[in-house]
Amino acid sequence: MHIHILGVCGTFMGGIALIAKQAGHRVTGCDANVYPPMSTQLQDQGIELIQGYGADQVALRPDLWVIGNVVSRGNPLMEALLDRGEVHVSGPQWLAENVLNSKWVLAVAGTHGKTTTASMLAWILEDAGANPGFLIGGVPENFGVSARVTESRFFVIEADEYDTAFFDKRSKFIHYRPRTLILNNLEFDHADIFADLAAIETQFHHLIRTIPRTGLILANAREKSIERVLTRGCWTPVERFGNPQGWQIADVCGSAFTVDFEGQRQGVVRWPLVGEHNRMNALAAIAAARHAGVPPKQAIDSLSSFRNVRRRLEVRGTQGGVTVYDDFAHHPTAIATTIAGLREKAGSARILAVLEPRSNTMKLGVMKGELAGSLAEADFVFCYSAELGWDAHSALASLGPRAVCEDDLGALVAAVAAQARSGDNILVMSNGAFGGIHQRLLTALAKAA
């Protein structure tokens, strides 16, 4: 079968493309923004990419069109498909009907940490010999790809609450029917489609309604929003992580920490990752793996060889004693958490935070009041303020001279390079390509050295 995917370079739809290709289909795709790492990953797998959504693509005559949620009415190719009555489905629907219907699905949901936690869980299962399939919104270093399909009965998926498609406004995760569900956290996000936190909580409760009574929900005990969702009705056993009655982080020593379950010592995780958020992610992954039959001690041992995910405090290079990191953080909570994690690693060394407020929620300015506070622990802040519908200078005014806002990317790079000195850490945060700023910074630092 020939499948053509609209919006193929999104992390989810790119994963669909990889799975369809591995399943033996001919896969092509198109997108308005083709950039690494997803474009590189797809091309390496022999998937032909077309730039843009030209209506002339109808001449490809695929057997099925799979539509990503980036596509809306008015898209020229989509309008042509509708006019012609072409058969089309959403990515989640295709995945559910062709892959997940025969699997034990382990889903990771929440505002933050989905990608990292799903990657940890997939690696634990892999290291235990379970050979899981997975679809993750990033590229786990242990696997080198964001998605795969296998003969294993286990499938790990990052379960996103964003809507499915322009013709299916349910959250994507409603299609997945997991048996094991992690609820990491829950905050207001996606202001372009949700009115408030209560609306998102409703979607999470719809997800809980799909979990069988023989399944298991792993819930973050520190999140009041998750407790509110559970009290609306739950028909599945629940284990909590982050409190003494369930899964608990005990002694923390450097990057190592101890795991307890119901007061019983399970083992010590020794790994290179930093930050309380990663320790909580690990608890959730260990607990979920236990439900799938992996003993906690074995899961703990597996995490010692976990290599994180690309774009999660990923070192992109060092020049003149300055280290440049790349991170996907784009929500105020994720920004603060990422800075805290790097601070744990860097100690008293300076952190220069470089931010592109690129997500739909950030562009709308819904969380501009929280932005300065989320960046407060950085020594200097550089914000790319082009194409924002709000004044970044005013939003960051409380940071005083530590904050610089630039509408021109070249000027922003020059400002960061001028401030940087040996021993500094430049932390770049964006959910997009950010104009290739990482290499531009490294080049500017090399010239200044």
Return d(Cα 122, Cα 131) in angstroms, integer.
9
The confidence score (pLDDT) of residue 274 equals: 83
Strand pairing report for 2-6 and 88-90: unpaired
Please check the confidence at residue 55 and state whether its pLDDT lies above 80: yes
Identify which has the larger pLDDT, 129 or 369.
129
**pLDDT per residue as tens digits for the range 2-31:** 999 999 998 899 999 999 999 999 999 999
pTM: 0.84
Domain boundaries, the chain: 2-91, 99-303, 314-448
Calculate mean pLDDT across residues 149-175. Answer: 95
Lowest model confidence (mean pLDDT) among 30-44, 143-157, 284-298, 369-383: 30-44
**pLDDT per residue as tens digits for the range 312-321:** 888 999 999 9
* Residue at token pair 């790119």: 14
Return d(Cα 412, Cα 414) in angstroms, integer.
5
DSSP 210-256: TS-TTSEEEEETT-HHHHHHHHT---S-EEEESSTTSEEEEEEETTE
Note the CATH number of domain 99-303: 3.40.1190.10
Closest CA to 433 of 8, 10, 6: 10
The confidence score (pLDDT) of residue 244 equals: 87
Please check the confidence at residue 357 and state whether its pLDDT lies above 70: yes
**pLDDT per residue as tens digits for the range 249-269:** 988 888 899 999 999 999 999
Calculate mean pLDDT across residues 380-385. Answer: 94
Lowest model confidence (mean pLDDT) among 140-144, 309-313, 415-419: 309-313
State yes or no: cis peptide before 37, omega within 30 of 0. yes
The whole-chain average pLDDT of the chain stands at 93
Q: What proportion of the chain, given as a percentage, has pLDDT over 90? A: 75
* Residue 301 parent element (H or E): helix 296-303
Tokens for 210, please give them: 């799909």
Identify which has the larger pLDDT, 20 or 337.
20
Contact 342, 350 (CB under 8 A): no
> Phi then psi for 181, rounded to 5 degrees?
-130, 125
* Residue at token pair 């990052």: 158
DSSP state of 401: G
- For 421, other C-beta atoms within 10 Å of its C-beta total 12
**pLDDT per residue as tens digits for the range 168-216:** 999 999 999 999 999 998 987 776 778 888 999 999 999 999 999 999 9
Q: How far is CA 57 from CA 76, 90, 220, in A?
A: 10, 18, 45
Contact 353, 377 (CB under 8 A): no
The confidence score (pLDDT) of residue 145 equals: 87
Q: How confident is the model at residue 37 (pLDDT cuts 50, 70, 90)?
A: low
224 Cβ contact partners less than 8 Å away, ≥ 6 residues apart: none
Contact 130, 22 (CB under 8 A): no
Q: Which CATH architecture has domain 2-91?
A: 3-Layer(aba) Sandwich (3.40)
Q: Which CATH architecture has domain 314-448?
A: Alpha-Beta Complex (3.90)
Identify which has the larger pLDDT, 101 or 389.
101
409 Cβ contact partners less than 8 Å away, ≥ 6 residues apart: 384, 386, 435, 437, 440
The confidence score (pLDDT) of residue 333 equals: 83
Calculate mean pLDDT across residues 111-138. Answer: 95
